[in-house]
Structure 1
Amino acid sequence: MEQVEVYLVRAFSIAGKGGNLAGVVLNADSLTEPQKQFIAKQVGVSETAFVSKSDKANFHVSFYTPTVEVDFCGHATLSSFWLLHHLQYIPAGRYRQETKAGVLAVDVALNGDVLMSQSLPTWFAEYSAQEIAPMLGIQPSLIAQTGLPIQTISTGLIDLMVPVPYGVLDCLEVDNDAITHFCQQHECVGFHVFEMNPPEAFYTASCRNFAPAVGIPEESATGSSSGALACYLHRHFGYQQAIFEQGRAMKMPSCLVTQLAIENGELTQVQVGGEGAFDRICYISI
Structure 2
Amino acid sequence: MTDVMRYAAFTTTPTGGNPAGVVLDARELSDAEMLAIAAELGYSETAFLHPTDERQYRIQYFSPLAEVAFCGHATIAASVALGAQIGPGTVDLATQAGPVPVEIATDSTGGFTATLTSPPTSSRQASEQEVRAALDALGWPADDLDPEYPPHVAYAGNHHLVLAAASRRRLADLDYDFDALGKHMTDMGWTTVHLFWPESPTVFHARNPFPPGGVVEDPATGAAAAAFTGYLRTLGRLKDDTILTIHQGVDMGRPSLLTCTTISDDSRVKVSGTAVPIQ
* Counterpart for residue 159 of structure 1: 160
* Counterpart for residue 278 of structure 1: 277
Q: 2:182 is paired with a residue of what secondary structure?
A: helix
User: What code does the residue aligned with 2:103 have?
Assistant: D
Could you tell me whether the CA contact under 8 Å between 1:205 and 1:245 is conserved in 2? yes
* Counterpart for residue 213 of structure 1: 212
Return the offset for 1:64.
0.3
Q: 2:47 aligns with which of 20, 43, 49?
A: 49
**Distance change in 2, residues 1:56/1:214 (3 Å):** farther
Unaligned runs of 5+ in 1: 281-286
Deviates more, 1:120-129 or 1:45-54: 120-129
Q: 2:253 aligns with which of 251, 254, 273?
A: 251
Could you tell me whether the CA contact under 8 Å between 1:17 and 1:277 is conserved in 2? no
User: What code does the residue aligned with 2:86 have?
Assistant: I
Return the offset for 1:121.
1.0
Q: 1:108 aligns with which of 104, 107, 122?
A: 104
Q: CA RMSD in A?
A: 1.8
Q: 1:97 aligns with which of 93, 97, 114?
A: 93
Return the offset for 1:55.
5.8
Is 1:71 the equivalent of 2:73?
no
* Counterpart for residue 10 of structure 2: 12
**Distance change in 2, residues 1:182/1:268 (3 Å):** closer
* Counterpart for residue 37 of structure 1: 35
**Distance change in 2, residues 1:154/1:57 (3 Å):** farther
Return the offset for 1:248.
1.0
Deviates more, 1:35-44 or 1:8-17: 8-17
Distance 2:267 2:191 in 1: 24
* Counterpart for residue 230 of structure 1: 229
Could you tell me whether the CA contact under 8 Å between 1:127 and 1:149 is conserved in 2? no
Per-residue CA deviation, residues 167-190 of structure 1 (Å, 9 max, x unaligned), is 220022211111111112111112
Distance 2:43 2:13 in 1: 21
Deviates more, 1:8-17 or 1:223-232: 8-17
* Counterpart for residue 141 of structure 1: 143
Q: 2:264 is paired with a residue of what secondary structure?
A: strand
Distance 1:227 1:275 in 2: 16
Per-residue CA deviation, residues 1-27 of structure 1 (Å, 9 max, x unaligned), is xx2221100100145540100000121
Once superposed, which parts of structure 1, at least 4 consecutive aligned residues long, lie more than 4 Å away? none
**Distance change in 2, residues 1:82/1:62 (3 Å):** same
Distance 2:163 2:136 in 1: 12
Aligned pair count reads 269
TM-score (norm 2): 0.91
% same residue: 27
Distance 2:186 2:127 in 1: 15
* Counterpart for residue 171 of structure 1: 173
Deviates more, 1:70-79 or 1:46-55: 46-55
* Counterpart for residue 120 of structure 2: 120
TM-score (norm 1): 0.89
Return the offset for 1:36.
0.5
Per-residue CA deviation, residues 42-80 of structure 1 (Å, 9 max, x unaligned), is 111110111112269711111000010011110000000
Distance 1:79 1:147 in 2: 34
Deviates more, 1:169-178 or 1:42-51: 169-178
Return the offset for 1:235.
2.6
Could you tell me whether the CA contact under 8 Å between 2:99 and 2:119 is conserved in 1? no
